[in-house]
Each structure stands twice: as structure tokens, then as C-alpha cells.
A and B are shown apart, each in its own frame.
Chain A
Amino acid sequence: MAWLALHLALVPYLVEDSYIHFRVAENLVNTGNPYFNPGEAVKTSSSTPWTWLLALLLWLAPRNLNLLVVFSALVSAAGAVATLVLLRTTASRKLLWWEVLIALVTYLSIVQSASIATMETALALTFATAGLAAFAHRKPWAFCLLGLATATRLEFAALLASTAIVTLATRAMPLRACLLWAVAGSAPSALFDLIQYHTLVPHAAVAKPIIHQLSWVGAFSLLLPEAILSEFYYHGLVYAAYATLYVLIATLPLLTLTWSRDTVRDPAVQVMAIAAVTGLVIATTYAVARSIIFPWYRALYLGLLFLPALMGALRNRTLGSYLLIVAASLPLLFDFGGSVLAACGRPEVARHFLEGARARHTGKVAAELYREYPEATLMTSEIGAVGFGFRGRIQDGAGIASPEALRYYPLPVPAERYDAADAPVPLRYLKDQRPGLVMAVDRHLDAVLSDPVRAEYVHVRRRLYDANDDARRASETLLWDSIRYLDVLIRRDLWRARHAEPVEEP
């Protein structure tokens, strides 16, 4: 119940990407196609099974975000139960109460960010842990769950592959049955994707490397929990220590085993090896792909890296192994504590308070625009909350929902954006499309507002946060973290059609 209450209390602070899922699922209900913009077959959502489930809920209760969040909480709670089952299976004994507590708190700390944000990651991890538990029981249908995990997040193809390799090498289960179950788990959504989008790859995976030119070191530095970089003073040292610690907790339980033929055949050891290798592979792939690692991605590999640690601790039952887990969990617990405090009436303490507050208010402004200009096309740089509020056609300057925008990248730094990770509204894209409405946070329209094209638009400047959230947020300097306003551009012909009087522009 506490877990549910935590989720419900933070509904007002859902992040941008949550709303992308909601809009796609809503469109699936309303139009029969899971597209961000009706008629534009772009795989904007990165998870088809999650879209299906959200669509079902939105069909039952349209626009009911509470229901979606409660469902997300139940999914991650199911993942916690699956983890306990896996641990009990591999330990071959009942867990003591404090062992259950450590495992539960660790799992929920890892998954809380994704779960509260109603992201698909929690579902993917639930399928993955349940699949590994079934694998430890030598059930061929484990591959169905692993197939579902892959369908939910493509990264878990690495988990499916490594489990398949272990099964193949050890002949632990009948191969044909495993293959059939894997197909049963992954084929429905794969077929659906091929029919709907003619591709299996989420468009975000194509767009993000084009939009964000991160160095791989830059991407690497995003791998660990944000609390490490934000809260520790000597963060270079702490970062290296924690990166080592995560490698250590995943590999030490394996490397300290006495290796023999029996060890290799042990299902528990196999699960530990699969989880460790897959977790490290996913994390390394993120860094090498130079992608921006969003907080809800981290559950995918951290969830796996902690599994060998927990399993090893339950086998060894030494104080040191539990202490290592607690130490490795500290940054996650810090943010979990922040979320709990936020749910208790101090939302500003939540890690993503500003993003959530921004998304909510942006969505409200977008809904107002939709009421006034339902036929207009709106161009923006962040499509989530805007897309949920503005139900008309959206042109995505960051290219996630509008592939044509990618032609304008890479945008020059600093002429058009603040840094190579930034994705504002591309000036040339706007000039080519001349959308009726443009809406973005102030720093994402710098180039547009200083270009002559601005004269074609009426410029309306809104606050970025509602008054309560504005009062809650910490102070900041003018230049840094200086997103304060929401800039709205309305093409003059649209404006004149509705307003007789001119507007006072900033």
C-alpha cells in the first residue's frame, strides 16, 4: 500500500517521456494505430507490450493517470516478488526476514525512478527476473518471459541471447521447447511492429545518436545513479569507486567460486553469470553507443548487476557481502528516500521534481493552445507533455516522432544549441515547415527568436512552472539551469483569425 501511495502522490510530477507513452497508447485506442501522430507510422514508443497495456487501461478509463500509475506500481511490485522467488530458488532455502528486506529495498530502489515515471523499464525487468527464476527452475517457458522482456525493452535481447547460449552449451533444457517459447514471447509484438512500422527498432534508437553527439566518456559518466555526481563532493573519485563497486558486486560472487564441472552445471551459478554478463554488456553498449542514459534506463543493467550480489550473499551469508550490497545501494537509496519525502509533502526533494513540474505546466499550456487552435500543427522540442496536452499534429524538433527533423542535425554549437547533447527546435526545420504554433522552453528557441523568421510569429512568453512549484524550486543563477520561461510562437495569420487586438510581446 505504501508503494502505491508513493506512486499516487507523485502523479503530478510525471516526467516528459511518461506522456509520450500515454499519447501513443491513447492514439491506439482512438485510431487503432499506435502512432504519435495519426497517419505517421513512426515507432515513437520504445515498447509495444507497454503500449498495449496502457492502451487497455486508457480504454477502460480514458485520461486516468492514477490508474496508469497504480498499474506501474503493481508491475514493479511483481518484479520485486519475482526477484524474491529467484533468490529463494537459487539459495535453496527460505530467506530470513532481513534478507527479504535487503532484497526488497534494493530492488525497489533500483526500479523506483522508472516505476514512478510509469516507464516500461519496470515491466521489462519484471519479465527478466521472472524469466531467470523460471530458468533456475529449468522451465522451458522461461524463454517466453525472456522473449517478453526483449519485446518490452530491446536491450534485453542480450539477456535472451546469453541465456540461450548457456542453455545451448549445457543442454540444460530441451532446445526446441525453449526456442518455441522464445518465439511465443517475442513474436506477437515483433509481428505487430513489422506490420505497423515495418521495423523492429524504436525510432528513438535511430534518432538519439544523430541528435546527441556525446563523447563516449560523456555517456559513460551518465551510467551511474545521479546521486553520485550530484551529492558527492569528490565525485571523480567517488564515481570511479562506485563504477568499480558495481563491477565488483556483479562479478566477485562468481570469481570467488570454486570452479568445476559441477559449478558450471549449477543453475544458480548460471543465472549469476547470465545476469552479470548481460548487465555489463548493456551498460557498456550504452556508453559505446554514446547515448544519453535516462534515469529509467539504469534499472535495466543495475537490476541485473545486483542479482549476482544478492544471490552470492545468500549463498555465502557473510557480513561483508551484505555490506557491499548496502554500500552499492546507497546512491539509489538516497534518491528513493527523496521520492518518499516528496510523496510526504515535499515534492521539491524528488530527484526529477523540476522536470515533472515543467512537464505538468507545459502540458497545461499545450492544452490551452489546443482549445484555441485545434487544427494547427505545433512544433516543439519536447513532445511528451506537450503531445498529451495538445492532441493535434505535433512536429518534433528532436526527431523522435518526426524523422524528417533529423536531416537538420547535427546542429552547430553554440550557434543553435548550448551543447552537443541539447536538442532544441532546429531553425531551418522551422523555416522549411512554417508550423502554425511553436512551443518550447526558452533556451530551445534561442536561435529562432534571434532570426528574422520570428517576425512572422506572435511571441507569447509564459512561466515555465505553476506558481506553487515556482515557489518550491531552489534558486538558480540566470545563465545556468536558466530555463524559466515557456516561449510560444503563434503564426500571425492564426493569431489574427482569433484576436483583433495586437499582443504585447516580450
Chain B
Amino acid sequence: MTAAAKHEIAGQPLSSEPTASGYVIKASWLVAFYLAVFVAFGLIVNLNWKRLSLVQDVTQIDVNVRRLIVTRQDSIKPKLSVQHRHEGFRLTGSGMRGIQLTAFAPRFERPCKLDVPHRHSALVAEDEMVIAFAAKTPRPGAQIFVSLGFKGPRRDEPIHEYLTTVPMGKDWQEVRLKVESWRPNGPFPSALNPITSVLFDFKPTSDFDLWLREPRFVAQPRQSAGLAPPATN
């Protein structure tokens, strides 16, 4: 039923009556026009397949593992170079106020499976949980904030933050930060399932060259040697 017919039924006059001599734009032209508009907007916002990947606005460092990802860069024109090398990830650049790396499903180190009940459970409940990673920076040290994401990068639960500074040097520095709020979770004392990511916020110096090795959680007995207390916020 046309609009005109509907109005006739309703007994109302149409404010504009179609006339025989009127001009109607073909539907195919309209479709083509709006498709062109969509493509134009897509080009403007850099809509490409990379943006359609599972992670938005990121440089994905490790395509296969999807483990360590640059999720935010605080600069309009970032000069960031990310290299995935055998010995770790290298971030170089300048003119940036910050970079955020997210490690999804970080590795969990312990000589036994920790997500099922097992004979060590009582021991594990007494364990310290530690976020460990290695970093090096040949240029003046960068501050690193480490935080835990309980529900992935868009976390909405409290996040525990740790601040550390990587001292300048050519050698790898082992950084170990104790998870202060670690509590064994439910019937599975070692369940780390709620922690889905670790976020590394770097506040680099003007020219930075920062190396990072894959971060992991380490469960280790309390009072164990070599665990430096973290400089918490």
C-alpha cells in the first residue's frame, strides 16, 4: 500500500501529492550512495581488517599466541616500534607519554597443576603469588605500573597496582612483585581463573628502549629467598 493510498483511507490530504511527471531516484542508486558513504566513513576511521580483529586499537605483537599486546598509546602521532625478538619484546620510540601492554592469560609457574585440587593444596594456600617478568632498558629507566585485570582488559573489578622502576642497564633485570591481595579462591585454593590479564603501563622517558620478557605468575613458598618486596602505590 502506498503512502498516498493510506492517507486517502485516513481521509487526510497529503501535503505533497506524487505527480506523473515527478522524478524518483532509483533504489539501486540509493543503495550505491549509502554504500559509498559507509566506505568513506570506514576509510576515515581507518576501518580495516586489523581493526576487525578481536583486539581493537592495538598493535598485536604476537599473532600466534596473542599473549602480549600493546593496547594503548598515549600520543597523537606515536613513534613506537615494537619488535618481537627471540629474547623478548623490544619497545623503542620517542615522544610518548605512555604505553600499555596487556598480557592475556599469563603463564602460571609451578611444578604441578594448580587449577584442580591436589595434594599440595594446603601448601599452595600458603604460597605467595608473584608477578614476575624480566626487563631491561639501555636508556634511563622507565617506570612500570603493573596491575591485574580480573575480567580482561575491560576490567571492572578492583585492580591491584604495583609500581616499579627498571634501572638502566644492558642486562636483564628480574622484577618480582608480590600480589598483596592474593587469596586462595574457593574450593580450589590455587584457582587463578579470575585473573585473566596483567597490564603493564609504561611511563617512558622521552626516548625509550625497553625490553620485556613474557610475564608470568609464580606461586612460591612464603619467606622464600629472592623475593623483593614490591614498591606498592
A244 contacts which chain B residues (CB < 8 A)?
Answer: 34, 37-38, 41
B41 x A315 contact (CB < 8 A):
no
A260 x B100 contact (CB < 8 A):
no
A478 contacts which chain B residues (CB < 8 A)?
Answer: 145, 147, 161, 163, 201, 233
Q: Given A233-B56, A475-B158, verify A241-B38 contact (CB < 8 Å).
A: yes
Is B120 on the interface with A (CB-CB < 8 A)?
A: no
Closest A residue to B51 by CB, please name it. Answer: A236
A255 x B25 contact (CB < 8 A):
yes
Number of B residues near A (Cβ < 8 Å) is: 54
A19-45 at interface with B (beta carbon < 8 Å): none
B233 contacts which chain A residues (CB < 8 A)?
Answer: 478
Docked CA distance A239–B40 (Å): 12
Is B218 on the interface with A (CB-CB < 8 A)?
A: no
Q: What is the predominant secondary structure among interface residues of chain B facing chain A?
A: loop
Closest B residue to A474 by CB, please name it. Answer: B156
A221 contacts which chain B residues (CB < 8 A)?
Answer: 45
B12-31 at interface with A (beta carbon < 8 Å): 12-19, 21-25, 30
> How does the 8 Å CB contact mask read for B143-160 relative to A, with 1 for contact and 0 for none?
001010000000111110
Q: Given A262-B19, A479-B201, verify A237-B95 contact (CB < 8 Å).
A: no
B45 contacts which chain A residues (CB < 8 A)?
Answer: 217, 220-221, 236, 239-240
B30 x A256 contact (CB < 8 A):
yes
A243 x B41 contact (CB < 8 A):
yes
B75 x A477 contact (CB < 8 A):
no
A257 x B16 contact (CB < 8 A):
yes
CB distance from A198 to the nearest CB of B (A): 35
Q: Given A234-B52, A478-B145, A480-B100, verify A263-B22 contact (CB < 8 Å).
A: yes
Closest B residue to A419 by CB, please name it. Answer: B76
Q: Which of B30, B156, B233 has the most CB of A within 10 A?
A: B30
B129 contacts which chain A residues (CB < 8 A)?
Answer: none
B76 x A237 contact (CB < 8 A):
no
A498 contacts which chain B residues (CB < 8 A)?
Answer: none
A92 x B30 contact (CB < 8 A):
no
Is B112 on the interface with A (CB-CB < 8 A)?
A: no
Is A266 on the interface with B (CB-CB < 8 A)?
A: yes
Q: Given A414-B206, A477-B145, A478-B161, verify A317-B3 contact (CB < 8 Å).
A: yes
B52 x A237 contact (CB < 8 A):
yes
Is A161 on the interface with B (CB-CB < 8 A)?
A: no
Is A247 on the interface with B (CB-CB < 8 A)?
A: yes
Docked CA distance A244–B36 (Å): 9
**A-B interface pairs (CB < 8 A), number:** 146
Within the complex, which residue of A257, A414, A421, A475 is in contact with B97, where a contact is CB–CB below 8 Å? A414
B22 x A479 contact (CB < 8 A):
no
B97 x A418 contact (CB < 8 A):
yes
Docked CA distance A439–B157 (Å): 31
B56 x A414 contact (CB < 8 A):
no
Q: Given A221-B45, A244-B41, A257-B16, verify A475-B159 contact (CB < 8 Å).
A: yes
A475 x B22 contact (CB < 8 A):
no
Docked CA distance A260–B72 (Å): 53
CB distance from B213 to the nearest CB of A (A): 21
CB distance from A172 to the nearest CB of B (A): 13
Is B47 on the interface with A (CB-CB < 8 A)?
A: yes
A279 contacts which chain B residues (CB < 8 A)?
Answer: none
Q: Given A217-B45, A236-B56, A239-B41, verify A316-B12 contact (CB < 8 Å).
A: no
B221 contacts which chain A residues (CB < 8 A)?
Answer: none
CB distance from B7 to the nearest CB of A (A): 8
A415 contacts which chain B residues (CB < 8 A)?
Answer: 206
CB distance from A391 to the nearest CB of B (A): 35
Docked CA distance A239–B38 (Å): 10
Docked CA distance A252–B33 (Å): 11
Docked CA distance A239–B56 (Å): 13
Docked CA distance A268–B14 (Å): 10
Is A176 on the interface with B (CB-CB < 8 A)?
A: no
Is A269 on the interface with B (CB-CB < 8 A)?
A: yes
Docked CA distance A237–B95 (Å): 29
Closest A residue to B159 by CB, please name it. Answer: A475
Closest B residue to A446 by CB, please name it. Answer: B97
B12 x A93 contact (CB < 8 A):
yes
Docked CA distance A240–B23 (Å): 30
B199 x A247 contact (CB < 8 A):
no
Is A426 on the interface with B (CB-CB < 8 A)?
A: no
CB distance from B217 to the nearest CB of A (A): 18
A247 x B100 contact (CB < 8 A):
no
CB distance from A490 to the nearest CB of B (A): 26
Docked CA distance A370–B159 (Å): 37
Is A433 on the interface with B (CB-CB < 8 A)?
A: no
A414 x B15 contact (CB < 8 A):
no
Closest B residue to A269 by CB, please name it. Answer: B16
Is A248 on the interface with B (CB-CB < 8 A)?
A: yes
Within the complex, which residue of A213, A266, A419 is in contact with B74, where a contact is CB–CB below 8 Å? A419
Q: Which of B13, B44, B45, B56 has the most CB of A within 10 A?
A: B45
Is B141 on the interface with A (CB-CB < 8 A)?
A: no
> How does the 8 Å CB contact mask read for A207-237 relative to B, with 1 for contact and 0 for none?
0000001010110110000000000011111
Closest B residue to A248 by CB, please name it. Answer: B34
Closest B residue to A230 by CB, please name it. Answer: B154
A376-421 at interface with B (beta carbon < 8 Å): 413-415, 418-421
A303 contacts which chain B residues (CB < 8 A)?
Answer: none
B72 x A92 contact (CB < 8 A):
no
Is A258 on the interface with B (CB-CB < 8 A)?
A: yes
A480 x B75 contact (CB < 8 A):
no
B75 contacts which chain A residues (CB < 8 A)?
Answer: 413-414, 419
Is B10 on the interface with A (CB-CB < 8 A)?
A: yes
Closest A residue to B33 by CB, please name it. Answer: A255
Given contacts A213-B76, A244-B41, 17 further A-B contacts (CB under 8 A): A217-B46, A234-B56, A236-B47, A237-B51, A256-B24, A256-B30, A258-B18, A258-B19, A269-B15, A413-B75, A413-B95, A475-B155, A475-B156, A475-B157, A477-B161, A477-B199, A480-B98
A-B interface, 5 closest residue pairs, ranked by CB to CB distance from nearest? A258-B22, A479-B201, A260-B22, A266-B16, A236-B51
A-B residue pairs in contact (CB < 8 Å), sample of 21: A92-B14, A93-B12, A233-B56, A234-B52, A237-B42, A239-B41, A240-B38, A244-B41, A247-B37, A259-B24, A260-B19, A266-B16, A269-B15, A316-B3, A414-B75, A414-B206, A418-B97, A477-B145, A477-B147, A477-B199, A480-B72
List B residues at the A interface (Cβ < 8 Å).
Answer: 3, 6, 10, 12-19, 21-25, 30, 33-34, 37-38, 41-42, 44-47, 51-52, 56, 72, 74-76, 95-98, 100, 145, 147, 155-159, 161, 163, 199, 201-203, 206, 233
